[in-house]
Amino acid sequence: MTITQINALNAEMDSALEAMLPEMEEIYKDLHRNPELSMQEVRTARIAADYLKKYNWEVTAGIGVTGVLGLLNNGEGPTVMLRADMDALPVTEATGLPYASTVRAVDEDGTEVGVSHVCGHDFHVTWLMGTARLLAEHKNLWSGTILAVFQPGEEVGRGAKAMIDDGMMTRFPKPDIILGQHVMVGIAGYVGHRSGAILAGGDSLKVQIFGRGSHGSQPQTAIDPVIMAAATTIRLQTIVSREIDPNDSAVLTVGALQAGTKENIIPDDATLKLNIRTFDEDVRNHIMAAVKRVCCAECQASNAPQEPEFSTLSHYPLTVNDAEATAKVAVAFEAQFGDRSYETPRKSASEDFSVFGRAWQVPYVFWFVGGTDKATFLEAQKNKAINTIPSNHSPKFAPVLHPTLKTGFVTMITAAAVWLNAH
């Protein structure tokens, strides 16, 4: 569609969108109260599937465990894929919201954890459900084919691949474009877009370090894995600070150090869990090699009985927006939002969204929708304290409902319309 046609489509849908906002708010609050861990999104998937069926979408459930795909064919035109991730985090919510999650569940390691949507995926699911309804109820305004994909397991980096591995590419039409969005810290009602790399590649590793346990009163009889783990944690921080060019962006975080059960027992082993974010493949390869070098060297220095064991917890490829497709979306956003559409800096967060585009070898565009109260954000900006605003994955991450809710529908409709034919 042309920009004029896209604006006309949005104007035509606006009254219907306003009318459905109360219902979508209740759906959002329900999803927020009832989060589900990665690859366990049974209830969320059922809600999404039933909603699409209500508006006459052809629905296939159980793709890649809990994934849902809705298909809406509306005559000649391009095929547009819209994607939302469904899973929540093993985080106990501390937002104080009246609809806050109190859910507890058992994770894949058998540990009971608090569960919450402090990732924002409840917004993503709600946005795609509402967009699906708007498109179905206004088929007279557009033509083409829509794939609405509700994806599991984004937080563990497995969901997109699971859907692909379950035959998604052979069972459904190949899209001409894949579109996705994420609620982030930023002024609510604003949308940030960027050509090229917008999200980092991410790698999470588990490193098991082996020592020799003993009584805490007799350290000379032990090879202490706690000391090894502590020294390794400190030394790992020098990889980015001393081995990576300051002009290259990289992050290395040790998010967990687990060892022992009692203060007077030196344990046999310790476990580190670390996360790496990079925007360049050569930088990634250097850091991955350096992690193994540092871990092995620290263990050798401590006379460990064996080398550490490394295992991959998750891997996220770079999210690199197609330049031509992003330019088209940016023009449409600017026509719709004016100065509330802006070029965003790239973020060091990671996503498995690009797995779909990479597998199908088609262009994709991913963008950010702000969810922070405008006055709060501007005050923090004035005080150079934006980093104090609770961000995604914080127990206190709580995007404001309005205008965030409506903005996500408008962005998804606007971006999709760039490729759809006008009636």
Residues annotated within the binding site for Mn(2+) are 119, 121, 155, 182
For the annotated binding site, the residues are 119, 121, 155, 182
CA distance to 52, 102, 228, 275, 302, per residue, from 87 (Å): 19, 16, 35, 20, 41
Spatial neighbors of 377 by CB under 8 A, at least 6 apart, are 185, 186, 187, 370, 386, 389
3-state secondary structure the chain: CCHHHHHHHHHHHHHHHHHHHHHHHHHHHHHHHCCCCCCCCHHHHHHHHHHHHHCCCEEEEEECCCEEEEEEEECCCCEEEEEEECCCECCCCCCCCCCCCCCEEECCCCCEEECECCCCHHHHHHHHHHHHHHHHHCHHHEEEEEEEEEECCHHHCCHHHHHHHCCHHHHCCCCCEEEEEEEEEEECCCEEECCEEEECEEEEEEEEEECECEECCCHHHCECHHHHHHHHHHHHHHHHHHHCCCCCCEEEEEEEEEECCCCCEECCEEEEEEEEEECCHHHHHHHHHHHHHHHHHHHHHCCCCCCCEEEEEEEECCEEECHHHHHHHHHHHHHHHHHHEEECCCECCCCCCHHHHHHHCCCEEEEEEEEECHHHHHHHHHCCCHHHCCCCCCCCCCCCCCCHHHHHHHHHHHHHHCCCEEC
CB count in 10 Å sphere of residue 372: 25
CB count in 10 Å sphere of residue 287: 21
Q: Are the CB atoms for 130 and 26 separated by under 8 Å?
A: no
Q: What is the largest CA-CA distance in the chain?
A: 81
Spatial neighbors of 33 by CB under 8 A, at least 6 apart, are 99, 100, 101, 103
